[in-house]
Chains A and B, each alone.
Chain A
């Protein structure tokens, strides 16, 4: 990007410099227009969901006997559920829960996973073997089992589901981070830092971490979609969000009895989950492609 900067003209050099930067940014964005679009979409959705409680047309928890199981109409855009609650409002408020669960789980997995990966990759030796073995064992449990086991003992709730999924995904993040650290460790700049006597902490936080971060971000977006799928799965089973929470997985669970009477109950929450997951998967895909282009020498 830097090499595309225009050379400033003789007069009004700042003006042309700014123009130049703008031009490059726009060119970059246009080139990556899909990524830009996805990023914009995500930000809009996040903003909408965070403010959902303020702008939704109905109280997501308000029950009424009259308008039950109604199909989409002008007053209820997505129809109503078996308690007469407005589905659109519930979906919008539920979006905040969905994003929240995904985000928190990923934060947990990322922080623990990166710690393990950085320590194992940097220090090596017995610590490396121990930690990576532990990750292998945890990995063979499969995420679902760990999540189920934790929810089974801690009790069903959305918070416990978040924690369970967060912990269950740690081996995945740890492995990726570990692999990335190994690559960076062999690079010249690390050797240089070690030879000038930089402390462990400095090397890890100042040199390794920033270089490992891009790949971790890519992995996180895909991890986010997995976390969302896992959380809605647990809520569907009744092990995550509890009533009257408008979590999308829980909404799907209730739809089972009303297939024929109110199909919108089945389609809409599922479609919502799929849309958000799709967006993050595409985002991750785009970021990964971008990373591969920047990092020459890697296959896609």
Chain B
């Protein structure tokens, strides 16, 4: 078990390290002079100040030097300062991060419930009309552009019917964006649950449980469900990552005050320090969650950790 843990942690650290490399050097892909582009925003930045900024970022030194400066800043908690408004990037990110997490986690839970229930019943009634109906709706589910779904929900429920606020901070404004995010992933989860459950229903131990005389709910709930959950957890990490990505667009549509919306604004404003901070934070969170999920999965399924 510890071996496995160490392995995963090492992989995670490696990923984060590569991220810092990528993020630091991303700025070199910019066609033209990045400092000039960044500071086109500030009317009062003189050429001398631009040179000073360049020096502070290490852009006038060697690549290794730049990276050292960047990493030492990072480890001190300094993610840089935004161009617009001169705010510390880390503060701004931490301010908005909870909203994104809130949205993503809610959406994940919703999609697990919907996908889980749908997949379960589809497997239970395998081959019948319910199964066919649910499975065809999943194909449609993964074909709907998520931003279109979001727009339509916004148009219909917020603008037309006025049931939900168009923008806001509370639970009520969370419902539509979370549903949008959840809808597309629920389809994938539904399919996986279905195929897992079908395999399980076929298993000998289920038949044994029935033979022992246990009631249907008991068999399904206690035995089938429990072992069915395990494969779901294995993909939970990936699902979380997809949702974090999807949240970026969804936040933009619903004016949800999260990290994704901040990132999009940063991209339009060419605020590279903020963009770098965002990419780094996003990666760290995704990696953290996937390690967590892997550890959880390993603890539930001893076969993995004993490899």
Cβ–Cβ contact B245 & A143, under 8 A: yes
**A residues within 8 A CB of B44?**
none
- Rounded to whole Å, the gap between the CB of A166 and the closest CB of chain B is 15
- The answer, among A141, A150, A237, A274, for a CB contact under 8 Å with B249, is A237
Assembled-state Cα–Cα distance A267/B160 (Å):
15
Q: B224-278: which have CB < 8 Å to A?
A: 241-242, 244-246, 248-249, 252, 263-264, 266-268, 272, 275
Contact, CB under 8 Å: A136 / B15: yes
Query: Across the interface, which residues of A come within 8 angstroms of B29, CB to CB?
Result: 150, 153-154
Q: Are B245 and A252 in contact (CB under 8 A)?
A: no
Q: With A140-B15, A259-B155 given, is the CB distance from A270 to B248 under 8 Å?
A: no
Contact B139 A140 (CB under 8 A): no
Which of B63-71, B73-81, B110-118, B282-290 lies at the binding interface?
A: B282-290
Partner of A137, one of B14, B27, B249, B275: B14
Chain A CB within 8 A of B147 CB: yes
- CB contacts (< 8 Å) of B282 on chain A: these are 142, 145
Instruction: Name the CB-closest residue of A to B159.
Output: A259
Q: Is A29 an interface residue (CB 8 A)?
A: no
In the assembled complex, how far is the CB of residue A142 from the closest CB belonging to chain B, in whole angstroms? 4
- Contact assessment for A232 and B142 in the assembled complex, using a CB-CB cutoff below 8 Å: no
Q: How many residues of B contact A (CB 8 A)?
A: 46
Q: Counting CB contacts under 8 A, is A133 at the interface?
A: yes
Do A277 and B26 touch (CB < 8 A)?
no
Are A270 and B142 interface neighbours, CB within 8 A?
no
Asked if B98 is at the interface (CB within 8 A of a chain A CB), the reply is no
| A281 / chain B contacts, CB cutoff of 8 Å | 139, 142-143
* Contact call B145/A148, Cβ cutoff below 8 A: no
A270 to B151, Cβ gap below 8 A? yes
Contacts of A145 in B (CB 8 A): 245, 279, 282-283
- Contact status B145-A137, CB under 8 Å: no
Q: In residues 102-159 of chain B, which contact A (Cβ within 8 Å)?
A: 139-140, 142-148, 151-152, 155, 159
Q: Which residue of B lies closest to A229 (CB)?
A: B145
A277 contacts which chain B residues (CB < 8 A)?
143, 145
Known: A137-B15, A282-B139. A270 touches B148 (CB 8 A): yes
Residue on B with the closest CB to A280?
B143
Chain A residues near B266: list those with CB within 8 A. 152
Residues A249-287 near B (CB distance < 8 A): 249, 252, 255-256, 259-260, 263, 266-267, 269-270, 273-274, 277-278, 281-282, 285
Cα(A232)–Cα(B143), bound, Å: 13
**Min CB distance, B293 to chain A, in Å?**
12
Q: Which of A143, A237, A260, A278 has the most CB of B within 10 A?
A: A237
A277→B184 CA distance, assembly (Å): 13
Asked if A152 and B275 make an inter-chain contact with CB atoms under 8 angstroms apart, the answer reads yes
- Shortest distance in angstroms between A298's beta carbon and chain B's nearest beta carbon? 13
How many interface residues does chain A have, given as a range? 35 or more
Count of A-B contacts judged by CB separation below 8 Å: 110
A141 contact from B160, B275, B283, Cβ within 8 A = B283
Interface membership of A155, Cβ < 8 A: yes
With a cutoff of 8 Å between Cβ atoms, the chain B residues found around residue A232 in the complex are 145, 147
With beta carbons under 8 angstroms apart, the residue of B18, B26, B245 that contacts A142 is B245
Interface contact A237-B264, CB-CB below 8 Å:
yes
Partner of A233, one of B143, B145, B242: B145
Is A238 engaged at the interface, CB distance under 8 Å to the other chain? yes
Q: Does A236 contact B (CB under 8 A)?
A: yes
CB distance from B164 to the nearest CB of A (A): 14
With A225-B143, A252-B151, A285-B139 as contacts: A238 and B246 at CB distance below 8 Å: no
Cβ of B31 within 8 Å of any chain A Cβ, yes or no, is yes
Report the Cα distance A263→B287, complex, angstroms.
41
- Are the C-beta atoms of B143 and A144 separated by less than 8 Å? no
Q: Which residues of A contact B287 (CB under 8 A)?
A: 140
Task: List 5 A-B pairs, minimum CB-CB distance, nearest first.
Answer: A144-B245, A270-B148, A278-B143, A153-B29, A259-B155
Residues of A within 8 A of B (CB): 133, 136-137, 140-145, 148-155, 225, 229, 232-233, 236-239, 249, 252, 255-256, 259-260, 263, 266-267, 269-270, 273-274, 277-278, 281-282, 285
List 18 contacting pairs A-B, 8 Å CB cutoff, sorted by A: A137-B18, A140-B283, A142-B244, A144-B245, A144-B246, A149-B26, A152-B266, A153-B27, A232-B147, A236-B147, A237-B249, A259-B155, A259-B159, A263-B155, A266-B152, A277-B143, A281-B139, A282-B139
